Amino acid sequence: MTERIKVLIVDDSAMMRRMIKAILDTAPEIEVVGVARDGQDAIEKDRQLSPDVITMDINMPSMDGMTSMLHIFKQHPEAAMVMLSSLTQEGALSTFEALELGAFDYVAKPSGTVSSNLYIVGKELIAKIKAASLYGQKMRRRGKLQRERQPTRDSRLTPVQPIQAASPAIALSPGTARIAVMIGVSTGGPSTLMEILPKLPHDLNATVLVVQHMPAAFTASFARRLGDNCNFPFAEARAGDRLFVSQGLVAPGGIHMVVRRNPVRGEGIVRLTSQPEDTLFTPSVNVTMDSVLEYFGQQTIGVLLTGMGDDGADAMVNVRKAGGITIAEDESTAVVFGMPREAIERGGASIVAPSYRIAGEIVKAVAKLS
């Protein structure tokens, strides 16, 4: 019989501890081995119980979840942490910091620190605990995750010199993008993007579009965080945004970001739409990447990174068939090897590379298409 996933629940609210336990008790693969009322209690319970996965509330009195997480990682480096955060700007910033410090993933409480409707995210919580357990097993097998981490601003990458592409039927204004890098990512995405995007040069001759599966309340803060750490500006996409070189846009949560042709000026612009409504994720990588391909054609670079499921895999196949360049993250660094694996198995990846090499592959792809 397969061993059950041992989970420790950490939350200062007794009601939340009961609700989380009730949700996890519905999953036969999961065993709640203990609960902790605050960060200090979590450190002691982790020492006693050695759980596979810890659900950690971020906002707690006495010792918050972030501080507790760092102490637990010192005594139990292979612990997999799923953070529970509030759907606020402060909650978003704390969540991104936790992910950068080593948390596996997060689940946003739907209505604040104490959410009586937590059951709404019950399936998501169970799925992420299962994924966190698999990730922890991978770490234990290897002793540590084998990532060749490079400095954030890697001067050894040769900057791409902007080169004018062939003029389209309608002349585009200077700085308008003729090449698009479209990146799709889900579970494990924020920390992986922080490893890749800051390595791209300030004069990248392409626009960069990112679809990260994330709640609507988080995407603006995430875009600002990327902008603070990258060599060119990032922003949450808005309807009507024009696509410029050396610029990044992050799809807003809860709505699809698509690229359409401005009928007057001929340039690509962003549209936001609720259609199609039947996608598993909104925003959808497939929807955005297919729209990018429709406008940019062979000048599309599709990139698919860590994530559960197969969103983006079919669009990667479409990009490769159309003559674009496609890059999928290798299993050796993918936090969850779901989305990139599907792209690879369907023949949608012309390049497979670990995360620490993907920035370099993007630079080479842009240079090839310029």
Quick check: 339 and 305 in contact, CB under 8 A?
yes
| Lowest mean per-residue pLDDT among 76-90, 135-149, 232-246 | 135-149
Q: Which of 186, 191, 246, 370 is catalytic?
A: 186
Which of 16-30, 135-149, 169-183 shows the highest mean pLDDT?
A: 16-30
Q: Quick one: which of 350, 365, 280 has its CA closest to 317? A: 350
Quick check: 96 and 151 in contact, CB under 8 A?
no
With H, G, I as helix, E, B as strand and everything else as coil, classify residue 311: coil
Do β-strands 351-353 and 325-329 pair in parallel, antiparallel, or remain unpaired? parallel
Q: Is 76 a catalytic residue?
A: no
Predicted confidence at residue 142, as pLDDT, reads: 58
Q: Is 241 a catalytic residue?
A: no
Residue 154 has pLDDT above 50, yes or no: no
Distance in angstroms (rounded) separating the CA atoms of residues 84 and 19: 13
CB count in 10 Å sphere of residue 170: 12
Q: Which of 85, 213, 246, 284 is catalytic?
A: 213
Q: Is 213 a catalytic residue?
A: yes
Q: Quick one: which of 175, 223, 231, 176 has its CA closest to 363? A: 231
Residues 6+ apart with CB under 8 A from 29: 2, 4, 5, 130
Q: Output the pTM of the full model.
A: 0.84
Q: What is the mean pLDDT of the chain?
A: 88
Quick check: 26 and 66 in contact, CB under 8 A?
no
Q: Classify burial at 21, counting beta carbons within 10 Å of its beta carbon; exposed 0-12, middle 13-18, buried 19 or more.
A: middle
Predicted confidence at residue 92, as pLDDT, reads: 86
Residue 88 vs residue 204, higher pLDDT: 204
Query: Which tens digits make up the pLDDT trace of 296-336?
Result: 999 999 999 999 999 999 999 999 999 999 999 999 999 89
Q: Mean per-residue pLDDT for 159-176?
A: 46
Query: Which tens digits make up the pLDDT trace of 94-129?
Result: 899 898 888 999 998 887 666 778 888 999 999 999
Residue 39 has pLDDT above 60, yes or no: yes
Q: Which of 12, 46, 57, 311 is catalytic?
A: 311
| Ordered structural domains, the chain, with CATH | 5-142 (3.40.50.2300), 180-369 (3.40.50.180)
Q: Quick one: which of 118, 112, 119 has its CA closest to 85? A: 112
